[in-house]
Chain A
Amino acid sequence: NAGVTQTPKFQVLKTGQSMTLQCAQDMNHNSMYWYRQDPGMGLRLIYYSASEGTTDKGEVPNGYNVSRLNKREFSLRLESAAPSQTSVYFCASRRGGSGHNEQFFGPGTRLTVL
C-alpha cells in the first residue's frame, strides 16, 4: 500500500502560470481533502470531497479549483498562480462516515510562486 501519493514534490511557478497538483490514494477511502500549510497558520482546508462526485469549499478556496476524477484521485488546480499561493500543499484521505477513522496525509507539494 502506497497510502496517499502526491505529485509533484516541488514546483516553482511564475505569477500567472497555471498548474495542477495530483493526489491519489489506494486505501479505498471515500473522502479526500486539500490543505495548505503556511508558517504560523496551521493546516487550512482549501477544498474537500466527502464522496466521489461531490466537492465542497473549505476555509480558503479562492484561487483554486478541484476535480474528484474518481474514487482514488483528487486534483487541485491553480488557474493563475499568485505569490500568496506559495505554500506547502497536503492532500489527505479518510474512510468517511462516523466512528474512528483517522485521516492520512500525503507527503506534500512544496510550491513557490515568483
Chain B
Amino acid sequence: QQPVQSPQAVILREGEDAVINCSSSKALYSVHWYRQKHGEAPVFLMILLKGGEQKGHEKISASFNEKKQQSSLYLTASQLSYSGTYFCGTEIQAGTALIFGKGTTLSVSS
C-alpha cells in the first residue's frame, strides 16, 4: 500500500523553510527520500532506518517516528535548486522493494 505524502504541493521563496510528511499504515524497516527534477530520474537524498540510523544529504534533514510510522523531510533555507518533486519510499522489511508515495511538488522562486 502506497504511503501517504502531504502536502501535495508547496510554493516557497528562497530562504523559506518547508516540511514534507510521509505516513504509512504498516510497520516500517526504513524510509527513503528522493528528489526528481522535471524530465529526469529520481535521485537519492536520505535513508532513515528503524532504530534511528540515518544517511543522507548535508543540507537536508529528516526524522522517522517509529511509533507513528511517519517520516518528515525538513528543507531549511530553501534554494532555487531545491525545486522538484519529492518522493518517500517505504520498506516494510530489510531487502523488500520500496513502495513510493505520490510525491510532493516543491517550487522555489527568487
Contacts and interface: CB of A to CB of B under 8 A. Distances in A.
> Does B associate with A?
yes
Interface in B91-109: 94-103
Contacts, number: 63
A14 B95 CA distance: 37
Interface residues of B, number: 25
Contacts of A50: 95-97
A108 B102 contact: no
Count chain A CB atoms within 10 A of each CB in B2, B41, B47 and give the residue with the most.
Answer: B41
A44 interface: yes
Nearest to A51: B95
B80 to A, nearest CB: 23
B95 A108 contact: no
A94 B96 CA distance: 10
B84 interface: no
Contacts of A41: 102
B64 interface: no
A97 B102 contact: no
Q: Which 3 A-B pairs have the closest CB atoms?
A: A98-B94, A42-B102, A105-B41
